[in-house]
Structure 1
Amino acid sequence: MHKDATRGRTEVSDHDQLLVIVDPVARRSDGESVRIAKDVLSAGAEAKICLPEGPEEFSRALARRGSRRPVLLGDDHALLRAVTLLHRERDLAEGALSLVPIGAPEALEVAHALGVPSSTPAAARAALEGAVRRLDLLVDDSDGVVLGDLLVPAVPVPAPAAPSVWGTCRSLVRTLVPPAVRTHPLRVEADGVLLADVDAPLEALTARSVAGTAEVTVRPPAAPPRRATAHTLTVSGPDFRYRADGRLTGPVRRRTWTVRAGAWGLRLPRV
C-alpha cells in the first residue's frame, strides 16, 4: 500500500474497494441512517457512492461494479432485486453481497432472518469485516428467486378495521363467529412424490430452503400438517397466487421451484 498524494489517504486493494448502492426508498425514509452507513463504510474502505433514482439505474450500477464489492443500503426489496439481477446474469457464484438494512421493520424481515444485524453501524462493520456465508436459493421456472419463505397460495393481508361503529361491529362479529376455513384445490409434488391433489383441497403450503433442500409443509383442513424435504417442488391447479419474500406473484397455473445449494454469498458478522 502507498499514500495517494492527491487525497492524503492510504490506497487500498481491490478487495477493499466498495460500490455502495443507496436504494432510493432508503434515502427517502431514513436519510440519517444512510449518512451513518456511508460514514462507517467510507472510513473503513475506498467507497464509491451510487445514488440510483430507480430500478434501471440500480441495475446499471450493479452491472458496472467491476472489481468493487457491492454494498446495498436498503430493505428486503433492494436485496431481492440485487440477487435476482445477479442470478439472471449468472453471476451469483462470484463474490458476495453486503446489506446495511434501512427501512421499516416489516420490510426487513428477510434480512434479519438471514442474520444481517439490525443496527446500522453493526451492519456496516459486517460489510467491511464480516465473513461470507453461502446461502441456498429457491429458483423458479420463470427465473424468479426466493430468499426466505414461500407461501402458496398467497393469503391476503386484511385491511385494518375502520375506526367507527361499523368497524367495532365487524370486530365483534369476527370474535363471536370464527371465519370459515378457505381451501384451495392444488396439486403438490415434492421430487415427484404427490403430497396433495386437487380432489383434496388444502389450506396452504409453505416452503423454504434449508441445508441444501426445501422444507415443505402442506396444511390440509382439520388434519395435522404433512412435511417433506425435496430438491424440487411443483404446484399446479386453478389460477393461484403465491407470496415469496413478502412479494405477491401470479396468478399462475403451474410453478416449479428448485433448490440451488450455496448459490449466493452474503457477508455477515463473524461468529
Structure 2
Amino acid sequence: MATSDQLLVVIDPVARHGDGESVRIAKDVLSAGAATKVCLPEGPEEFARALGRRGSRRPVVVGDDRALLRAVTLLHRRRELGTTGLSLVPVGAALSLARSLGVPTGAVAAARAVLDGVERRLDLLVDDSDGVVLGDLRIPSLPALPSGHGAPSATRDATPVRPWLRMRKSLVRTLAARPPRITTPHGPSRLRVEVDGVTLVDLDQPVEGVSVTPGDPGLAEVEVRPVSVGAEAAPLRAAGRRVTVSGADFRYRADAVVKGPVRTRTWVVSEGAWGLTLPAATGRTVPEER
C-alpha cells in the first residue's frame, strides 16, 4: 500500500469531548478510504508523542485551529515541516483559520479532501523566538483573561442553609471567580514598524493598529492604521519578507493566540515552508453541512 494511503489520525481531546459525532463521522470516512491508525491523546505531551511516532504515516489532525497550530509548531521546532505534509479535519468552535486556508469545515467534506485532495505548500511567518503564524497577525491585541476565571457559578446548594451562611458562600464564590484586574493601556500605541529594513511608521506617529497577512508567495502584506486627526487617515501599506515591530511593551494576536508583552519582535516569511492537504479542484470548497 502506498505511503500516502497510510494515515495517522490524531484526535484532539477538545474535539473528542466537544463534538463526538463529527469525530465519529470523520473516522468512518477516513477508515473506509485508507489504512488508519487512530491516536487519542489526552494532552499536549501525548499529542506531541503521537506525532513523533508517526513513522511513514501521513498525519491527520482532527480538531480546531489551535490543534492545527500545535501540530505545525511541533513539526517546525523539530525541523520536520519540509518533509511532513499535514491534513486537517476541522472540528470545534474555533475554525476561522481553517476556513481561511481553504479547508472544508464539514466532517464528511473535510475527510474526503484528506483522501482525495492534494498537498499545497503554504508560507509560514516565523518570529525570532521560533514561534509561527499560519494566518493573520494583529497588533495591538487586548490581553486574554487567565484560564479558569469566568462568571460565578449559578448552581444552588443541594441542602438548605441559613440566610447569613448562604450570603457568605455567595460572597466567597463571587470573590473567587472574579478575575484579577488587568490594566489595558488607553489611547493609541506608539510603535516603529519596519518592512525589509524600511521604516513604515515611527514612534512619533501614534497608530490604532497593525496587521500582517499573507500576500504573494514569499511576501507578507503589512497595514498600519494611523490615528486620524480631523479627516480619517489613510492606512499605510507595504509588502515584504521581514517585518520588525518595536516600541513600548505590546501584545499581539498570532492566529488565535495572544502573546506578549514584548518590546520588539521580528517575523520573517518562510516561503512554502509547510504542506496542507486541500481539495484538488481549487484549494477552496464550500463547507458541507452534516
**In 2: Cα distance, 1:155 partner to 1:204 partner:** 11
Correspondent of 2:199 among 194, 199, 216: 194
The aligned counterpart of 1:90 is 79
- Residue 157 of structure 1 and its aligned partner are, at CA, apart by 7.8
Unaligned runs of 5+ in 1: 1-11, 159-180
SS in 2 for 1:142: coil
**In 2: Cα distance, 1:14 partner to 1:138 partner:** 29
**In 2: Cα distance, 1:205 partner to 1:267 partner:** 30
- Residue 15 of structure 1 and its aligned partner are, at CA, apart by 2.2
Q: Does 1:123 align with 2:110?
A: yes
**Aligned counterparts, 1:1-271, within 5 A:** 12-104=1-93, 107-155=94-142, 182-211=187-216, 212-222=218-228, 223-271=233-281
SS in 1 for 2:56: coil
**In 2: Cα distance, 1:182 partner to 1:192 partner:** 27
- Residue 156 of structure 1 and its aligned partner are, at CA, apart by 5.6
Letter in 2 for 1:201: P
SS in 1 for 2:245: strand
1:14-44 CA distance string (max 9 Å, x none): 2211000000000011000000000000010
- Residue 202 of structure 1 and its aligned partner are, at CA, apart by 0.8
8 Å contact 1:136–1:210 — kept in the other structure?
no
Unaligned runs of 5+ in 2: 146-185, 282-290
Letter in 2 for 1:219: R
TM-score scaled by structure 2?
A: 0.80
SS in 1 for 2:109: helix
8 Å contact 2:143–2:258 — kept in the other structure?
no
**In 2: Cα distance, 1:182 partner to 1:125 partner:** 48
1:29-88 CA distance string (max 9 Å, x none): 100000000000001001000000000000010011010000000000000000001111
TM-score scaled by structure 1?
A: 0.85
- Residue 155 of structure 1 and its aligned partner are, at CA, apart by 3.8
Letter in 2 for 1:65: R
Letter in 1 for 2:227: P
Letter in 2 for 1:190: V
Letter in 1 for 2:250: F
Letter in 1 for 2:215: V
